[in-house]
Amino acid sequence: MLINGVLLEGLEDVLDLLERGSERIIIEAPTGLRGIAVEVSKMLGSGRAMVSGRNAWGSCDISPTPGASIIHIGHALPPNIEGILRMNGASVDRGGGSIIIKYKDSTVYLVPAYYEPDPEVEKALIGRLRQAGAPKLIAYALPYKLYADRLATALGARLFGPFTGCFFPLKVDDAGVVAGGLFYSMTVKLVNPSARVLAIDPHRIAVEDIDREYRRFLAIKVGALIKAREAKRVAVIVTGKPGQSMERRVNDVLAYLGNNGIDSFLVYGDEVGPDLINELSVDAVINTACPRLGFDDLDRINKPVINMGEIKYLRSGLEDYLSAKVLAWPGDAGK
C-alpha cells in the first residue's frame, strides 16, 4: 500500500487481521513517518486506533501495552534485538512473510516502510557518489531499501541491508550508507573505524564522508571514559522495554561496581535522555538500555555515559579501546 510516497509492505494483511477484532490499536512510527501513522489510524477509525507519541528509533522501542495490538511501522528486526526479546519472554513469528511479536497479552505487527525514490534525487545522488568515488558496498536502513537498490545497481556496488543503528555485522573497508542523517552511517564507522564511510542522505540530497564526525565522537567518548575512571558514585540505567531490557544482567554490573569500590543505584526509565541524565547527582552513568544512549548527543550530557561493553574500561587501561565496544550489547558487565 502506497501512502504519501511511502510503500507499506503487508499493511493490507495486518489491517485485515485487526478489523476482525475489537482491541485497542496503537500505531508506532519513527520521526519522519508519524504522518503515515496518522493516515493508518484513520483507516482503522479514530475511536479504536491511536498514534503513539513515544519515540520509536528501532524495533527495540516497541512498547507492548496490555490488551492492545501494536502496528510498528518502519523497522527491521535484527538478530540482537530478536534475541533480547526472546530472552525477556517474547515470541517472534516470521511465518507468512511478516513479523509478529507477542509479549504477555499484547501483539505487535512489524510493517516495513520504504520511501518511493524520486528520480531527480536518485540521479543527483548517483552523480555525487561518482564524484566522491563510488563505494564498494551500499548498505541501508529499512525505509531506504528502494533508493539503495537503485544506487547499487547504477554503481555496480554490493548491496547489504537492512541493518539497524545498534548492529552491523560486516567488516568493510569502503561503504556508503543510505539513510537520513548520520545515525546509521556512524554505526558502520564504529564497527569499521579505518573504513571510508559515506553518508548518503536522500532528504538532503547529500553525500558526506563521516570521518570528521567520527573523530569528534571518539574524542568525546575517550574523554568521558577517562573522567569516568575517577567515579565514586554512579547511576545504572535500566529500562522495561522488552527489546532493550537487560535487567537479568544488572546484578553482574552492580557486583562489578561494588567490587571496585564504586557506589551505585538503579534508575528505571521508559525514555532516557539528556534531561534525566543531567539531573542525576552522580559522577557517571552506566547504561544497560539502548546502546545509542552511550554515544548520541554526548555533547548535550554533562557527565560520562558508559555502555555495558565499556564497563571494564572503568578500571583497565584504554590502550586497547575499540569504538565498536560502545555497541557491544549486552556487553561483558566488566568481565
- Same fold for the domain at 2-113 and the one at 214-327? yes
Superfamily of domain 214-327: Diphthamide synthesis DPH1/DPH2 domain 3 (3.40.50.11860)
Q: Which of 147-156, 161-170, 291-300 bottoms out in mean pLDDT, i.e. has the lowest?
A: 291-300
Summarised one tens digit per residue, pLDDT across range 127-138 is 999 999 999 999
What's the pLDDT band for 164 if we cut at 50, 70, 90? confident
Q: pTM for the whole thing? A: 0.86
Quote the pLDDT of residue 335.
Answer: 47
Class of domain 119-209: alpha beta
Quote the pLDDT of residue 314.
Answer: 82
Q: Domain limits of the chain? A: 2-113, 119-209, 214-327
Tell me the average pLDDT across 19-34. 88
Mean pLDDT of the chain: 89
Quote the pLDDT of residue 331.
Answer: 44
State how beta strands 2-3 and 106-111 pair. unpaired
Statement: residue 96 has pLDDT above 70: no
Summarised one tens digit per residue, pLDDT across range 197-218 is 999 999 999 999 999 999 998 8
CA distances from 108 to 21, 26, 85, 166, 264 (A): 14, 9, 12, 21, 35
Distance CA 67, CA 63 (A): 12
Share of the chain above pLDDT 70, in %: 95
Summarised one tens digit per residue, pLDDT across range 287-301 is 888 877 777 777 788
* Cα dihedral across residues 76, 272, 177, 118: positive or negative: positive
Cα Rg of the chain, angstroms: 21
Distance CA 188, CA 176 (A): 9
> Was domain 2-113 assigned CATH 3.40.50.1100?
no
Cell triple for 222:
575517550
User: In this structure, which amino acid lies at residue 134?
Assistant: A
Statement: residue 334 has pLDDT above 60: no
Share of the chain above pLDDT 90, in %: 53
Quote the pLDDT of residue 234.
Answer: 94
What's the pLDDT band for 327 if we cut at 50, 70, 90? low
Tell me the average pLDDT across 47-69. 87
